[in-house]
Amino acid sequence: MKALLSKEFKLCLHPAVFIYLALILMLLIPNYPYLVSSFFVCNAIFFCFQQARENGDAMYTAMLPVSKAQAVRARVLFVVIIEAIDLVLVAGMCAFSIVSMPHQNAGGTDHGLSLLAFALVLFAIFNLIFLPSFYKTGYKAGSAFLKGAIGVWIWIVLCEGLMIASQAAVMVPFFRFIHENIDCMPKTAQAWTVQGILFGAGLLIYAVCTALAAHLSVKRYEKVDLQ
């Protein structure tokens, strides 16, 4: 697995990954839907798959003394590492922004654990749709990404829309709870507890969905004829 993962980073890592990871700086834009920055990481992952396809990575890997299942799991781990780097960067930017940008984000989710939780679910949705769809054929990266992007954007619109609505309808008890505990930079014990639970739930959803995506991808790719 270590050798396969090394192969992924040496042969499949597209330069766009570094560019899109740098878009974490979008979290410094006032009043902006910050979940969009994580979508660009999904775009970078697509470029990696596309580059691997164009370079004949599938046939090259097939000639190595490894199984299809091992090849898929190495690629999934490669994806997880890229997403984990983005999440660490998001956490760092949130910590920085809480100090430097204490004002509420009118364009969507505030800097906090809620943003990390929503980003985890975003990646979970993308992995669950994109990976099994791609490995159904082993080469149709474009259509797989389109399906994943649709799922991701539905999630972004729902999350950011709900956060904006909570600011506009703060007199409604449900929206006031969101506004005071979820769509905020946590300061009270209740807000920290609620956002901590959200983060834990997001982490669980990400782990389950990504594991399921890997399982489905292996099953589908084993049926693909690479000849």
Q: Is the pTM of this model over 0.85?
A: yes
Assess if residue 101 is contained within a domain: yes
Range of the domain at 152: 2-221
Query: Which amino acid is present at 182?
Result: I
Q: Are 33 and 109 in contact (CB under 8 A)?
A: yes
Assess if residue 226 is contained within a domain: no
94-140 per-position pLDDT tens digit: 888 777 776 777 777 888 899 999 999 999 999 999 999 999 988 88
Assess if residue 136 is contained within a domain: yes
Q: Does 150 have pLDDT greater than 70?
A: yes
Residue 111 zone, left/alpha/beta (φ > 0; ψ -120 to 50; rest): beta
Q: How far apart are CA 173 and CA 207, in angstroms?
A: 32
Q: Are 95 and 40 in contact (CB under 8 A)?
A: no
Assess if residue 201 is contained within a domain: yes
Q: Are 140 and 26 in contact (CB under 8 A)?
A: no
76-95 per-position pLDDT tens digit: 999 999 999 999 999 998 88
Assess if residue 227 is contained within a domain: no
- Considering its fold, how many domains does the chain have in total? 1
